[in-house]
Chain A
Amino acid sequence: MDRADIEKTINEFLVEEIEIEENLIRDDALLKNDLGIDSLDFVDIVVLVERNFGFKIKAEEMTDIRTLRQFYDYIEEKVNA
């Protein structure tokens, strides 16, 4: 899966499923402070990542992920591993 597809899939589910406003979606957006993603949204994200990318997010892998770019990088690394 290439980077563009990964970003498109993630952005679509952030807008449609997590109900984040599209104008807030940018690479350097902070997941918590800019996009307002909280632990309830995270339940959805874990399920949606498994459904769309075929792997389960691990808690320890998310500790250093703060921005949307870092999240794209993480997904790309896992998908293309």
Chain B
Amino acid sequence: MEQAKAWQGTTDGGSFGQRAMLVIFRYADVRLGYFIVALTVPFYMLGRRKNAGAIYRYFRQRHGYGRMRSLWSVYRNHCIFGNMLIDRFACYAGHAGRFRATIDGEPRFDRLTAGEDGFLMGSAHAGNFEMAGYLLQQDRKKIYGLIYEGEAAVMQQQREQILTRHRIGMIPVRDDLSHVFRMQQVLAEGDIICMPCDRRWGSAKAFRLPFLGGEADFPAGPFAVAAQLGKAMIAIFAMKTGAWSYTVHVRDLSDRLDRSLPVRQLAGQLAGRYAAALEEMLRRYPLQWFNFYDFWN
């Protein structure tokens, strides 16, 4: 296995800014926010040239865009990212019910939620994965998201209120390994663990896989957990399709998996299927990739 690259950032916006956003979007339409984002993004891009540069290279090298198209796409990518943050704050402010969702792959999701076993949902920094939790309607199982302790305290606190309403819990990733035990307990109780599969979470081990015409390292953690514990795993991508609308794509990663294989090989197969599913999404929605660093080797 390889060593996965680590994202070195934290969530932007201090506590005051986040509180202000909550107040504003309690009353304002998200489109007002989108308009403000469109005006402010160029300044943000200038201040975060390294991030913008990584996304520029993504468009040039992964999608083969020309220079001007790539520059314009970087701007649009940053706008969509800002719009998605506004959508999240609209949800925290109580407007989750206003979003319309189309679910692609719903029967598989419904079968898994109707069953007794817990399972894993792999997400990515593509689209708006947090929205999937609000948009996928089911009341049989609780969803637990792994979160990093680099998030601002107020964002966690505000998330907890809406997450509790939508039967979503949080498991913070800590050095004391408590999250490992909590994850196993959640799955044993028949609930769902949701985690991004494009950022490492306590282990540097990774699978090096073909991805969008190059090679990239995908952290082994989520796939190894699914393989070792014998749990089903799906990939979930909530892709923005308009103001107040998303399409949630569900992809079954463990369908017809040969469970007689050794755990490491099983995990590798799951990872390969995940990378293929993520590539499918980025070919359909190239503007919605939000790993603002050089993801490829």
| A residues in contact (CB < 8 Å) with B | 17, 38-44, 46-47, 57-59, 62-63
Contact = CB atoms under 8 A, between A and B. Distances in A.
B228 interface: yes
Nearest to A48: B228
Nearest to B201: A39
B164 interface: no
Contact of B228 (A43, A57, A58): A43
Contacts of A39: 173, 177, 179-180, 201-203, 221
| Chain A contact residues: helix, strand, loop or mixed | helix
B176 A38 contact: no
B228 A47 contact: yes
B224 A43 contact: yes
B180 A42 contact: yes
A72 to B, nearest CB: 18
Nearest to A39: B202
A4 B157 CA distance: 49
Minimum-distance CB pairs A-B, first 10: A40-B203, A39-B202, A59-B181, A38-B203, A40-B221, A42-B180, A59-B178, A39-B180, A42-B177, A39-B177
Interface of B: 173, 176-184, 201-205, 220-221, 224-225, 228-229, 263
B224 A40 contact: yes
Nearest to A58: B181
A62 to B, nearest CB: 7
Most buried by A among B180, B182, B203: B180
A14 to B, nearest CB: 15
A47 B181 contact: no
Contact of A41 (B173, B183, B203): B203
B229 A43 contact: yes
A46 B202 CA distance: 16
B4 to A, nearest CB: 11
B44 to A, nearest CB: 34
Contact of B205 (A17, A40, A46): A40
22 contacts: A38-B205, A39-B173, A39-B179, A39-B221, A40-B221, A40-B224, A40-B225, A41-B203, A42-B177, A43-B183, A43-B225, A44-B263, A46-B180, A46-B181, A47-B228, A57-B181, A58-B181, A59-B176, A59-B177, A59-B182, A62-B177, A63-B176
A56 B210 CA distance: 38
B184 A43 contact: yes
A38 B174 CA distance: 11
A41 B205 CA distance: 10
Which of A41, A46, A59, A63 counts the most B-chain CB atoms under 10 A from its CB? A59
